[in-house]
Amino acid sequence: MKTITPLENEPSAWSPRIGETVTLHGMLYKIREMSGFAFLLLQTRAQLFQCVWSPDFSGFPLEGLRPGSAVEVTGLVAAEPRSRAGFELRLLTCQVLNRPVPEEPPVVVNNREIPASLETLLDYRPLTLRHQKERAIFRVQSALCAGFRQYLLENGFTEIHTPKLVSGGAEGGTEVFTFDYFGHPACLAQSPQLYKQMLTGVFERVFEIAPAFRAEKHDTARHINEYTSVDLEMGFVRSFYDIMRTETALIRSALAYVRESCAEELRLLGAEVPEIAAIPSLPFDEAKAKIAARFHRPITDPLDFDPEEEKLLGMLIKEETDSDFVFVTHYRSAKRPFYTMDTPGNPEVTESFDLLFRGMEVTTGGQRIHDWQTQTNKLRARGIDPAAFESYLSAHRYGLPPHGGLGIGLERFTARLLGFDNVRRTTLFPRDTHRLTP
């Protein structure tokens, strides 16, 4: 019998000292042959290092090395003011651990930009993600999730894992993917909505970061059919403003985390992370009127925004308040799901909100109905048989705290943060009406 002891991991942040000899592993990113020597860019887990090969000190031939080779090198750290890091690595030895197939790749991914259409970028994802900038996008996304979770755990939220396989028509109405579950009709969850509400009666505050599935046929830059939803739900709210205040704190905290942990990625992407002190908020009707007045646009749909209006509202708020974010509140009842609480005294509108980030909706949230009778009545008023929601309503029967919550579209949020118009750019392997691979 052997004994397995814990792996001692090398420290994540490595600060090389001039004059020391180090061993690094990584993927060869680029080889630039000069006259009599060569620059090799090595992509390590942390960053890209400039290495120098020269017959004067490198005890191995350059031949046979290609971008995509996995290598372990030893080298001497030498001062080099012209390299961004302030040093370069003079290669002494190089062990090749794996080689790519010797052929030209279909896309060049080691220049400053990838010269390819979005389609090509997505078709060759296993290759194109290796580009410095593509990789940086998803390191920021990883940090964003870590930042969200850090805030939530510190503020008493319990992480939950709710089922994605649900019985037919779980959330009512809208388009879902359906399949056969051992002889029973089933569908893929569009959100953890009903489960997270039920669980406010158990944990008071819950969150989940998980896939959500929408069978919508929209083929736009804002839509994908599988996305990552950052969901939270909290009990004992006094009003839906408490949820907006929580989201303000959550985003401020997550962006601070990103700023601190992804400085190099943000520089590479030329992204600016906004500072948040407070977020302006205005009711939907007022926002509609404001856009119409400022941009001389007629109001064609008084019940909802179109994407252009969201963009204009974002511009307008940025002008007026310098905020990249704006809350829009009191959406029309007719446009919100059955669990949304109507505004007391004005049942035409709801205790709900969206958050717009740089002109695009990234969050929908609001207070929910906690009273069993009120929820049952609202279902009936919408022509839905409460029996179809028996288990959901049982949570109301046993008593739920006043509660509300929100969902943030992770890919959309990342896109707005990093300045991408198409949400596919911030999805590792996007799924849309035309794309199921890679």
**Does 6 contact its own copies by CB under 8 A?**
yes
- Burial tier of 435 (Cβ tally within 10 Å: 0-12, 13-18, 19+): middle
Contact assessment for residue 208 and residue 406, using Cβ atoms and an 8 Å cutoff: no
**Does 166 contact its own copies by CB under 8 A?**
yes
Chosen residue from 156, 173, 307, 419 binding its own copies by CB under 8 A: 156
CB of 278 to its own copies, least distance (A): 5
Cβ closest to its own copies, residue 5 vs residue 35 = 5
Cβ closest to its own copies, residue 87 vs residue 257 = 257
- Bridge-based pairing state of the strands 21-33 and 70-79: antiparallel
CB of 221 to its own copies, least distance (A): 18
Locus of tokens 């962006």: 255
The Cα–Cα gap between 169 and 186 comes to 8
DSSP of 20-65, one letter per residue?
-EEEEEEEEEEEEE-SS-EEEEEE-SS-EEEEEE-TTT--S-STT-
Q: By C-alpha distance, which of 432, 413, 420, 423 is closest to 148?
A: 413
177-216: contacts with its own copies (CB under 8 A)? 177-182, 184, 186, 188, 195, 198-199, 201-205, 210-211, 213, 215
**Does 235 contact its own copies by CB under 8 A?**
yes
The Cα–Cα gap between 365 and 193 comes to 10
Taking the CB of residue 379, how many other CB atoms lie within 10 A of it? 21
55-114: contacts with its own copies (CB under 8 A)? 66-70, 72, 97-101, 103, 105
CB of 36 to its own copies, least distance (A): 27
Stretch binding its own copies (CB under 8 A), from 1-9, 55-63, 297-305, 379-387: 1-9
Cβ closest to its own copies, residue 130 vs residue 358 = 130
- Burial tier of 269 (Cβ tally within 10 Å: 0-12, 13-18, 19+): buried
Q: Which two tokens stand for residue 366?
A: 């609001």
Cβ closest to its own copies, residue 155 vs residue 422 = 155
**Does 222 contact its own copies by CB under 8 A?**
no
349-368: contacts with its own copies (CB under 8 A)? none
The Cα–Cα gap between 422 and 219 comes to 11
Over the window 389 to 428, marking each residue x when it contacts its own copies by CB under 8 A and - when it does not, the resulting string is --xx-xxxxxxxxx-------x----------------xx
Contact assessment for residue 80 and residue 90, using Cβ atoms and an 8 Å cutoff: no
Stretch binding its own copies (CB under 8 A), from 54-62, 75-83, 129-137, 339-347: 129-137
The Cα–Cα gap between 160 and 193 comes to 12
The Cα–Cα gap between 248 and 406 comes to 12
Chosen residue from 17, 277, 296, 345 binding its own copies by CB under 8 A: 277
Chosen residue from 190, 228, 343, 350 binding its own copies by CB under 8 A: 228
Q: By C-alpha distance, which of 275, 282, 229 is closest to 251?
A: 275
- Bridge-based pairing state of the strands 48-53 and 87-98: parallel
11-30: contacts with its own copies (CB under 8 A)? 12, 25-27
Residues that contact its own copies, how many (by CB under 8 A):
128
- Please give the angle made by the CA atoms of 232, 237 and 238, to the nearest 5 degrees: 150
**Does 232 contact its own copies by CB under 8 A?**
no
Cβ closest to its own copies, residue 80 vs residue 283 = 283
The Cα–Cα gap between 69 and 43 comes to 10
**Does 387 contact its own copies by CB under 8 A?**
no
Cβ closest to its own copies, residue 381 vs residue 428 = 428
**Does 313 contact its own copies by CB under 8 A?**
no
CB of 15 to its own copies, least distance (A): 15
Chosen residue from 21, 23, 32, 46 binding its own copies by CB under 8 A: 46
Chosen residue from 160, 221, 256, 292 binding its own copies by CB under 8 A: 160
Contact assessment for residue 89 and residue 73, using Cβ atoms and an 8 Å cutoff: yes
CB of 384 to its own copies, least distance (A): 17
